[in-house]
Amino acid sequence: MNGPKKLIRVGMIRCDTHAAWFGVMMARHDPLKFRTPVPFRENLKYTWMAGGVHYFHYSHYSDPTRMTCPFVGGFEIVRVWDEDREAADAFANLFTKPAKVCDSFADVSDDVDLVFIADCNGDGSDHHELAEPGLRKGVATFLDKPQADSREAAERIVQLAASCGAPIFSASILQFDQEVLWFRDRLPETGGVHSGIISGFSTHPASLVHSVSAAHTIFGGGVRRVSCLNVPGGPIVHLDYAGSPGRPKSGVIIRCGEADYRWTTMKASAYGPNGDIHGQILHDFNCQHGSSEIIRKIAQMVETRKVPHEQNDTAEIIAIMDAIRRAEISGHAIEV
């Protein structure tokens, strides 16, 4: 019988809500700590510091130590850094073996197997800067969504990683969420999709990446151009496949801003000659399965030193988002 695999040593850059979110499924920890706020101070930087992470991970009212989401394990968070030193100190002590708090993000990539850049509410504009020290050391790197704030910036990160022999990965949970995949598997019921709709979040990059990822996962890649109509309540985005075989001939609409902070309001519709289907594609608890799948992909990347094939989908998603940004500004259709 084989012994236990060596733990993957992780350096975490930023200790935001996604750091806690993913960390709780990656490394051993005391679940009761996630129910307890850090010592109170005004303007806590991250929501998990107020004791809210248990909502997603430990919500069995009769057993607060029983996990409600899949625990993947196999990781050890050994180094952390955040602009807010107090947040980093609190995060480091959430785990069974407290992590070392680094003075610089460049130090996080020393003696680790993986650099995890957590940044769930950012636009990815600083990801090249944050990833560069680790990539130059050849360390496998995961970049929280979105990978970058433009197509060109994403390509620069990919080129740097390739030149240093460091595998990278970035993804949205909507590329792996069970309900998104279940909805996609129902598309044959329409007799061939003519058009689709995603009820999405805002056009902020950290939100838009989920809507575009859902559209890409459900209806497929190959978007040729995008248009954006600014209306009250949020822009309406049209993804045009320009007649690509097997893709919606009338394209896909993303209603940005229709879904609010409750993930239960993110829905999809598909229309075809045999009928239409509608469904919720994300809710507060099922999304953790998508997170778990991302963690498994990360572990495989570290072990094989190969970039997950889903990174190609991420590259197209970033290109679509970049085109949407330019279409929203210009008022004209933009080629992807």
273 and 198 in one domain? yes
Is the separation of the CB atoms in 145 and 117 below 8 Å?
no
Whether the model clears a pTM of 0.85, i.e. scores above it, the answer is yes
Q: Is residue 316 part of a domain?
A: no
Is there a single domain that holds both residue 158 and residue 297?
yes
| CATH at residue 232 | 3.30.360.10
Closest CA to 270 of 162, 192, 327: 192
Predicted local confidence at residue 39, as pLDDT: 75
Pick from 55, 85, 61, 48: nearest CA to 287: 55
Residue 79, class by beta-carbon neighbours within 10 Å (0-12 exposed, 13-18 middle, 19+ buried)?
buried
What distance in Å separates the CA atoms of residue 134 and residue 164, rounded to the nearest whole number? Answer: 10
Amino acid 261: pLDDT: 65
Q: Cα separations (Å) of 18 from 21, 22, 63, 137, 142?
A: 5, 6, 24, 24, 12
**Of 161, 92, 148, residue with least CA distance to 119:** 148
CA distances from 246 to 40, 187, 192, 223 (A): 54, 11, 8, 12
Question: In a 3-state reduction of DSSP, which class is residue 273?
Answer: coil
Encoding tokens for residue 117?
């850049």
User: What is d(CA 109, CA 93) in angstroms, rounded to the nearest whole number?
Assistant: 19
Number of domains in the chain: 2
Q: Say yes or no: 224 and 249 in one domain.
A: yes
Nearest C-alpha neighbor of 251 from the set 218, 277, 223, 228: 223
Nearest CA to 270 out of 186, 178, 164, 156 is that of 186
Q: Which residues are 29's β-sheet partners?
A: 95
The verdict on residue 54 lying in a domain is: yes
Residues 200 and 277 in one domain: yes
Q: How far apart are the first and last CA of the chain?
A: 51
Has residue 63 been placed in a domain? yes
**Total residue length of the chain:** 336
For residue 184, give the nearest of 145, 213, 142, 152 by alpha carbon. Answer: 213
- For residue 202, the enclosing domain spans 174-284+321-335
In a domain, 248, yes or no: yes
Asked whether residue 114 falls in the same domain as residue 188, the answer is no
- CA Rg value for the chain: 20
Does some domain include residue 2? Answer: no
Q: Which token pair is 231?
A: 């209306």
The reply to whether 137 and 178 lie within a common domain is no
CA atoms within 13 A on the CB side of 103: 0
For the chain, 336 residues long, give each residue's pLDDT as a single digit of tens: 344 478 999 999 999 988 998 999 999 998 888 777 777 677 788 888 887 777 778 888 788 888 888 899 999 999 999 999 999 999 999 899 999 999 999 999 999 999 999 987 889 999 999 999 999 999 999 999 999 999 999 999 999 999 999 999 999 999 999 999 999 999 999 999 999 999 999 999 999 999 999 999 999 999 999 999 999 888 999 999 999 999 999 999 999 988 876 667 899 999 999 999 999 998 766 667 889 999 999 999 999 999 999 999 999 999 999 999 999 999 999 999
Inside any domain, residue 68? yes
Same domain, 44 and 192: no
Res 1: pLDDT: 38
- Asked if the structure places residue 160 within a domain, the reply is yes
CA distance 181 to 237: 22
Same-domain check for residues 182 and 43: no
Question: What is the predicted pLDDT for the residue at 262?
Answer: 67
Question: 147 and 26, same structural domain?
Answer: yes
Helix spans in the chain (H): 17-26, 54-57, 85-92, 127-136, 151-164, 178-185, 205-219, 287-304, 310-330
Residues 72 and 130 placed together within one structural domain of the fold: yes
CA atoms of 336 and 333, how far apart (whole Å): 10
Instruction: Specify the DSSP element, H or E, that contains 38.
Output: none
Q: Does 314 map to a domain?
A: no
Same domain, 52 and 136: yes
Q: What is the CATH number of the domain that holds 105?
A: 3.40.50.720
- Same domain, yes or no, for 155 and 181? no
